[in-house]
Structure formats: C-alpha cells, structure tokens
Amino acid sequence: MTKPRILLFDSGMGGLTVARAVAKQIPDAHLIYSADNAGFPYGAWKEKPLVERIRRVVGALVNRAKPDVVVVACNTASTIAIADLRASFEVPFVGTVPAIKPAAAQTKSGIIGVLATPGTVNREYTHSLIHTYAYHCKVFLHGAPRLAEIAEQKLRGHPVNMAELADEVAPVFRKRDGGRTDVVVLGCTHYPLLTEEISKVAPWDVTFIDPSPAIARRVADVAEETVLKGPDANAPAHGTVLLTAARSESSETLAAYASMGFPKHEIIDLPV
C-alpha cells in the first residue's frame, strides 16, 4: 500500500509536537521534518520579508521532498503565509493557527489566555479568529519573546530557568470581575514542549489547549483525499530532518531531533 509522504515545516523544533501527533494518527506515514533554522525565530520577523522567506524555503523543500501533503507546523508562518503558499504551490497545505475556537467553547469563566509569538499576536488573522469565535470572551493575548527558544533549549537537554519562564507566561493569567483565566491556548507549536513546566509556574490550574491532535486528524483526512505520488527513491528517507543552516549540526540538536523520531538530517540549498 502506498504511504502518504508528509512534509512538516517549522522555523525550528516546535513542529515536532505536531509530527508526534501525526505519527500517532497515521502510523505508516512517511514523515519528513523541516526547520528553517537559519531563519529562526520567525516570531521577530516583519511580515513582508517573512512571507517571501517562507515561500522561498517551502519552494526548496517541496522540490526536495516531493510531498503529498505539507503541514505548516508553525502558527507564526501559517497566520501570515498560508494563503500565499496555497496560491504558489499545487501540493495541499494544512496550517496551524491559534486554537481560539475550542478555547471559547471550553472556557467557563469567559477568560481565555493566548500564548503565542510576538508575530502571531500582531496578525490580522489572529484578531479575526478572536472577533469571530471569542467575541463573547475576554481574551488576553500575549506575545512571549523567549518561549520558543526556551523550549528548544529544553529539547537540547538544558535545564529550564523557571523564573524566566514564569515571567514569559504571567501576562495570560488574569483576574477580572471575580473570575480568572481558565483556558490557555498554546498558540505556538514549540509551547507544548513546555506544558509541564508552564503548569508548575502557573499561579492556578488551567486547561492548556495543544491543537496538535486536531491538526493530525486534519492531515489524515487530507492525505486520504489526495492522490498519492507513490515511492520515490530520491526523496529523503522517513525520519529525515531538512535544515537550512549547518549551524544546527551540533550533536545536542541532532540528538533532540533523533529523540523525536528524526535521526537523519540533510542541509538543503536555498535558491538565491
């Protein structure tokens, strides 16, 4: 039986949380992971150069991997570039956007926190999700400058500085009119790597929403609806990471990818 060849794309290691869910949902999928580690972190980029960068990187990745489906496992990229990618390439794309709709359905206090990158919190797309699905809630949206980097360091085996972490997440824990935040959206794919630590520094218990299982179900549906290309001897093997910069060849970074199911790696050339 032909296996779907699925390319997951992020600026760094965050999309591994989505890859983990996809591997669980579609155990026989041929998974190729990619990180624009030369461009990391995307959270700090201006919109126009970022859209151009993503188009250029994804073009090179699609060329190399010949995927059946591409998962943009990055909120910062999806909220700004998913329409551009769909218009530029024929392959189907599944994006990742902050899970504001499920948060609005789950909150009892009506107070929701959204943790995301500084880029994602500024996006028109994010504000329109709030206006459409959470217009009846109070939403505290916070662009955390260092959280994605802290998650990467943890995956590389470094201890998490809990005081710094507490400062990064504090703005979404709020009280208002006798109620307080009861649902926090993890609006960056890096953050589920830190759920345990964030729970420890949280001032009270909340429900965290990690959208990766829902994304994985969507990927399975799209793969089923797609005519698969079939095996390609030149495509990267299952469990390969495609990187844009050689700097990530440090042994702890490669060990981090291996621990999440991607033991092989390759550096890709970007067109000038």
Question: Based on CB atoms, which residue is closest to ligand DGL, 38 or 66?
Answer: 38
Is residue 188 part of the annotated active site? The answer reads yes
* Cα distance between residue 38 and residue 121, in whole Å: 23
What span, in angstroms and rounded, lies between the C-alpha atoms of 56 and 2? 29
Kindly state whether residue 236 participates in binding ligand DGL, applying the rule CB under 6 A.
no
Please tell me which residue in 18, 188, 222, 243 is annotated as part of the active site. Answer: 188
Catalytic residue among 72, 74, 134, 215: 74
Between CA 8 and CA 242, with CA 216 as vertex, the angle to 5 degrees is: 10
Of the candidate residues 25, 37, 107, 117, the single one contacting ligand DGL (CB under 6 A): 117
- Asked if residue 43 binds ligand DGL (CB under 6 A), the reply is yes
Among 34, 37, 107, 120, the residue binding ligand DGL under the rule CB under 6 A is 120
Neighbouring-strand partners of residue 114: 141, 185
158 versus 175: smaller Cβ distance to ligand DGL: 158
Total of chain residues touching ligand DGL, rule CB under 6 A? 17
Q: Does 189 bind ligand DGL (CB under 6 A)?
A: yes
Residues numbered 48-107 forming contacts with ligand DGL, rule: CB under 6 A:
74-76
- H/E stretch holding 175: strand 175-176
Q: For helices 124-133 and 75-88, give the axis angle rounded to 10 degrees.
A: 100
CB burial of residue 228 (10 Å; 0-12, 13-18, 19+): middle
The three-class DSSP label of residue 193 is helix
* Catalytic status, residue 74: yes
Kindly state whether residue 11 participates in binding ligand DGL, applying the rule CB under 6 A.
yes
Shortest separation between residue 199's beta carbon and ligand DGL, angstroms = 20
Is 12 a binder of ligand DGL (CB under 6 A)? yes
**Nearest CB to ligand DGL, comparing residues 235 and 270:** 270
Q: How far apart are CA 144 and CA 50, in angstroms?
A: 18
CB 64 within 8 A of CB 97: no
Report d(CA 65, CA 194) in Å as an integer: 30
Q: Determine, following the binding rule CB under 6 A, whether residue 126 of this chain makes contact with ligand DGL.
A: no
Q: Which residues bind ligand DGL (CB under 6 A)?
A: 10-12, 14, 40-43, 74-76, 117, 120, 148, 188-190
Catalytic residues: 74, 188
